[in-house]
């Protein structure tokens, strides 16, 4: 029989809605403007995806720099978040059978992608790209001291024999262990700090 975690004294296991609300609350507490909040649901599996974009408030120009956030919530997390820890047992065996399966560990990856430039720049030589990446890495180190979970993405398009930069972004991934309420304040403050330093790229890059 399915159990209701809200009626029994089960261990912490948030629902998708609770985690999404915590993320939004943390962003607002960090004085960030939240826009384009979206919730995608795959009806056949129950998988869900949260996404939004954030900017600095209007009092802190320029405003064209933004960060896009998302996390993926898989089907098993949806099931256990709805019916409570231990409810997944019925998916693997009968009630009277010994429980030997691996219980899911509640965890998601929160991904933030920062736009670093508008693109549309024709490369003179490919060596420029490496110089840009080194510049960005040094700049992001102010707000993201650890390189773990951070990548810089450069999208190139070749047209009429010329390479063009059409995308320049940095991505940061945080692993959220949801076996207890996550502390999202440091993450949201890091997002704010990163948005504050990205405009200085305009003085160092031709994007």
**The tokens of 2 are what?**
């399915």
Q: What is the pLDDT of residue 99?
A: 67
Quick check: 6 pLDDT over 50? no
Q: Under a CB-based contact definition with an 8 Å cutoff, are residues 109 and 94 in contact? A: no
Q: What is the pLDDT of residue 3?
A: 39
pTM of the model: 0.78
**% of residues, the chain, pLDDT over 70:** 75
Residue 106 · residue 178 · CB < 8 Å:
yes
pLDDT at residue 111, rounded to an integer: 96
Could you read off the pLDDT of 91-118 as tens digits, one per residue?
Answer: 555 665 566 555 566 789 999 999 877 6
Per-residue pLDDT of 112-164, as tens digits, reads 999 877 666 777 777 777 887 888 888 778 777 776 788 888 777 777 777 77
Give Cα 93 to chain centroid, integer Å: 34
Determine the average pLDDT of the residues in 167-173: 85
Whether residue 17 has pLDDT greater than 80: yes
Spell out where 42-98 has E strands.
48-55, 67-73
Residue pair 26/156 in contact (Cβ under 8 Å)? The answer is no
Report the C-alpha gap between 26 and 19 in whole angstroms: 11
* All structural domains of the chain with their residue ranges: 16-203
């Amino acid at each position: 029989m399915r159990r209701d975690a809200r009626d029994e004294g089960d261990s912490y296991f948030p629902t998708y809605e609770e985690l999404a609300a915590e993320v939004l609350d943390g962003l607002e507490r960090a004085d960030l403007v939240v826009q384009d909040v979206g919730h995608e649901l795959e009806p056949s599996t129950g998988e869900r995806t949260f996404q939004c974009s954030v900017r600095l408030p209007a009092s802190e120009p320029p405003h064209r720099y933004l960060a896009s956030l998302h996390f993926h919530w898989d089907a098993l997390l949806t099931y256990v978040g709805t019916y409570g820890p231990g409810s997944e047992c019925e998916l693997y065996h009968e009630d009277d059978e010994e429980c030997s399966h691996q219980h899911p560990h509640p965890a998601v990856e929160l991904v933030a992608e920062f736009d670093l430039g508008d693109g549309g720049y024709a490369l003179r030589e490919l060596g420029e790209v490496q110089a840009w990446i080194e510049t960005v890495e040094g700049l992001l180190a102010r707000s993201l001291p650890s390189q773990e979970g951070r990548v810089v993405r450069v999208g190139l398009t070749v047209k009429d024999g010329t390479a063009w930069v059409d995308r320049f972004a940095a991505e940061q991934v945080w692993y959220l262990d949801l076996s207890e309420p996550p502390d999202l304040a440091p993450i949201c403050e890091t997002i704010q700090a990163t948005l504050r330093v990205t405009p200085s790229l305009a003085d160092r890059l031709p994007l």
